[in-house]
């Protein structure tokens, strides 16, 4: 349950990041968020999503170990291994989230800074920038693409081996 509880913490972080400000905006006439608040919200969203992708891959690997090597599972997936398998996605997600948020922070914004969305994320913010956004957009696509592909490969590979083990 250690991996599942770590995933639950990420879901809780996502909900508690977005929901309070969204509810405040629904209930008040003044529907605003500060620039700093927007960047913090953006950072947490990016970090949590990247971390969740990696955590899902870790959970798939855990299933692979449990099903394909049931007799070795407790020795191969010890508490310290599980802690390390959880720490890696957290460090990865939160460092890349910081990198992406700093790239957003370095953009220049001018004119009406109004987002038609209920929380701050990169794509609407990039549209508001009046400076060159090419490197930010490229970085965003590379990070998202790499994160999705590497997680998907680990998940598919793990479940492919699980399927083969079940069919034997």
Name the nearest CA neighbour of 41 among 23, 16, 7, 6: 16
Residue 48 has pLDDT above 70, yes or no: yes
Q: Are 58 and 3 in contact (CB under 8 A)?
A: yes
What is the per-residue DSSP string for 28-91? SS-----HHHHHHHHHHHHHHHHHHHHHHHHHHHHHHHHHH-TTTHHHHT-HHHHHHHHHHHHH
**Predicted local distance difference test score (pLDDT) of residue 1:** 83
Q: Tens digits of per-residue pLDDT, 84-93?
A: 999 999 999 9
Cβ contacts of residue 111 below 8 Å, gap of 6+?
128, 130
pLDDT average, residue stretch 138-165: 95
Sign of CA dihedral 25, 30, 31, 34: negative
**pTM for the full model?**
0.87
Match domain 2-167 to its CATH number in 3.40.630.30, 1.10.540.10, 1.20.1070.10, 3.40.50.300: 1.20.1070.10
Please report, for the chain, the start and end positions of each structural domain, with discontinuous segments joined by +: 2-167
């Amino acid at each position: 349950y250690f991996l599942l509880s770590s995933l639950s913490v990420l879901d809780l972080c996502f909900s508690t990041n977005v929901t309070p400000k969204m509810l405040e905006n629904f209930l008040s006439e003044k529907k605003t968020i500060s620039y700093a608040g927007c960047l913090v919200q953006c950072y947490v969203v990016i970090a949590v999503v990247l971390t969740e992708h990696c955590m899902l891959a870790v959970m798939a690997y855990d299933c692979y170990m449990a099903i394909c090597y049931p007799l070795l599972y407790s020795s191969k997936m010890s508490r310290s291994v599980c802690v390390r398998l959880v720490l890696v996605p957290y460090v990865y997600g939160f460092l890349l989230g910081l990198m992406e948020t700093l790239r957003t922070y370095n953009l220049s914004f001018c004119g009406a800074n109004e987002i038609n969305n209920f929380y701050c994320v990169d794509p609407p913010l990039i549209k508001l920038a009046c400076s060159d956004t090419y490197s930010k957009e490229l970085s965003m696509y590379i990070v998202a693409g790499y994160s999705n592909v590497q997680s998907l490969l680990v998940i598919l590979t793990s479940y492919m081996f699980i399927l083969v083990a079940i069919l034997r």
